[in-house]
């Protein structure tokens, strides 16, 4: 039987990077490679009601082992990896019996996991640490979650003496670009609550996420040959650069905020003299703050419109996801049992907030309460990403305890 590490290493070698500029769903066809693999593996494990949709969403059921009606719960993970760094030709490196020293990533020796900068590594001495070779993402976000779910499913299917109710597995696409549940049929999913396996470390339970919007700034200028540009040329690059340079940097930026502080983050720029654009993400735990951030962008654009009357400056706001905090109250047992299961697995529950979002943010907003649980990942969206086998196994243990606890409900 496959081990947890076997599964994880198999999954991360499949390139599943999503693409926020693509209008298709999934945004990249290569995500379907992993979806199809999971469909086959679910069937091979003997799971019931195994389906794969045209959009790459895989669902399956671990059948109940208790008599009578008990609530069905869901486990959720996403197959795609972040567009922010390459996920092509991933070469995972397994550091068995980690010695506590800095880890130089051999594919790019300039990239080093330094214990002085990564304090959590100090707690991993003697454990099995997995990193990239430094040239790509590892993909532990969220293939650690996938490996955890599949390993927990295999464990429960192999031992039917463990009492639990029905558990629905769901693997989504395009979570990293905010579209993870667009094509998910909640009636088909059919659960009272769910849990995303998409948080870091072990023992963590996220009950709040950022609320999030995306801002698109497009500046249209006037191009002409620079030799005759006087009084004619309107350089979109300069205007956009002027606007971006006025954004707060000492506050409201990812580099200068933490905890419950929000930010405005320009993360992609492109353009020419005739047209330049920027994509920004707006984040805050208080949803009403997003409108203030959008208004700040408009206030910066106003003087530039007056200064450059021949230019067009358009700012468009796209809603992404909302803080799951309020929606979790619809099913209070979701959090209660996550806490109880974490303790039953021998861990101290770490109730936390996540400075980002998950499929659970969108699911909770849609009416399906979905807290986020640890899956062992660290440094997501970075070539310095890493995980440990031991933390992933702890996440498996939490899922098994969750299954048992929900199996006691009537």
From edge to edge, which strands make up the β-sheet containing 386-388? 93-95, 129-131, 386-388
Residue 154: CA atoms inside 13 Å, Cβ hemisphere, count? 16
Instruction: Exactly one of 175, 200, 213, 284 is catalytic; name it.
Output: 175
Query: With contact defined as beta carbons under 8 Å apart, do 18 and 410 qualify?
Result: no
Answer positive or negative: Cα dihedral of 240, 19, 375, 189. positive
CA of residue 110 relative to chain centroid, distance: 26
Nearest to 372 by CA among 324, 313, 407: 324
Nearest to 280 by CA among 262, 295, 265: 265
What DSSP letter does each residue of 42-71 carry, written as one string?
A: HHHHT-EEEEE-TTS-EEEEE---SSS---
Strand 263-271 relative to strand 275-284, pairing: antiparallel
Rounded to an integer, what distance in angstroms lies between the CA atom of residue 24 and that of residue 4?
32
List the structure tokens of 361: 């943010």
Query: With contact defined as beta carbons under 8 Å apart, do 11 and 147 qualify?
Result: yes
Contacts of 117 (CB under 8 A, 6+ apart): none
Rounded to an integer, what distance in angstroms lies between the CA atom of residue 179 and that of residue 249?
29
Instruction: Exactly one of 80, 142, 200, 213 is catalytic; name it.
Output: 80
Strand 193-200 relative to strand 372-377, pairing: parallel
Strand 93-95 relative to strand 73-78, pairing: unpaired
Q: Which helix (H) or strand (E) holds 294?
A: helix 288-307
List the structure tokens of 151: 């390993």
Q: Is 199 exposed, middle or buried (0-12, 13-18, 19+ CB in 10 A)?
A: buried
State yes or no: is 258 an active-site residue: no
User: How many Cβ atoms from other residues are within 10 Å of residue 26's Cβ?
Assistant: 27
Rounded to an integer, what distance in angstroms lies between the CA atom of residue 16 and that of residue 28?
8
Strand 58-62 relative to strand 167-172, pairing: antiparallel
State yes or no: is 298 an active-site residue: no
Active site residues: 80, 175
């Amino acid at each position: 039987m496959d081990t947890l590490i076997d599964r994880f290493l198999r999954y991360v070698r499949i390139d599943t990077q999503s693409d926020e500029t693509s209008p298709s769903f999934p945004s990249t066809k290569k995500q379907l490679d992993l979806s199809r693999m999971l469909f086959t593996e679910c069937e091979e494990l003997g799971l019931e009601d195994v389906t794969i949709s045209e959009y790459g969403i895989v669902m399956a059921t671990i059948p109940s082992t208790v008599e009578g009606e008990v609530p069905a719960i869901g486990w959720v993970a996403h197959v795609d990896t972040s567009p922010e760094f390459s996920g092509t030709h991933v070469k995972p490196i397994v550091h068995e019996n980690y010695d506590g020293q800095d880890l130089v990533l051999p594919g790019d020796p300039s990239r080093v996991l330094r214990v002085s900068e990564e304090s959590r590594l100090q707690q991993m001495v003697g454990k099995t640490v997995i990193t990239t070779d430094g040239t790509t993402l590892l993909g532990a976000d969220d293939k650690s979650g996938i490996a955890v779910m599949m390993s927990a499913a295999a464990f429960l299917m192999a031992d039917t003496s463990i009492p639990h109710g029905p558990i629905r597995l769901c693997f989504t696409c395009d979570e990293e670009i905010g579209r993870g549940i667009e094509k998910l049929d909640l009636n088909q999913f059919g659960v009272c609550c769910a849990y995303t396996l998409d948080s870091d470390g072990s023992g963590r339970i996220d009950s709040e996420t950022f609320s999030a919007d995306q801002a698109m700034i497009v500046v249209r200028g006037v191009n002409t040959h620079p030799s005759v540009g006087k009084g004619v040329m309107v350089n979109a690059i300069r205007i956009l650069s002027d606007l971006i340079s006025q954004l707060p940097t000492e506050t409201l930026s990812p580099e200068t905020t933490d905890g419950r502080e929000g930010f405005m983050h320009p993360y992609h720029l492109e353009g020419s003299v005739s047209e330049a654009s920027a994509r920004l993400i707006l984040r805050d735990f208080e949803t009403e703050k997003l409108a203030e951030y959008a208004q700040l962008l408009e206030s910066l654009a106003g003087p530039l419109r007056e200064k450059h009357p021949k230019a067009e400056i358009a700012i468009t706001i796209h809603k992404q996801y909302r803080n799951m905090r309020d929606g979790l109250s619809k099913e209070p047992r979701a959090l209660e049992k996550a806490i109880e299961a974490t303790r039953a697995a021998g861990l101290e529950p770490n109730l936390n907030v996540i400075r980002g979002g998950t499929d659970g943010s969108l699911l909770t907003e849609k009416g399906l309460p979905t807290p986020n649980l640890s899956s062992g990942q660290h440094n997501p969206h970075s070539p310095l990403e890493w995980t440990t086998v031991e933390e992933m196994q702890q996440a498996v243990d939490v899922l098994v305890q969750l299954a048992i606890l929900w199996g006691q409900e009537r």
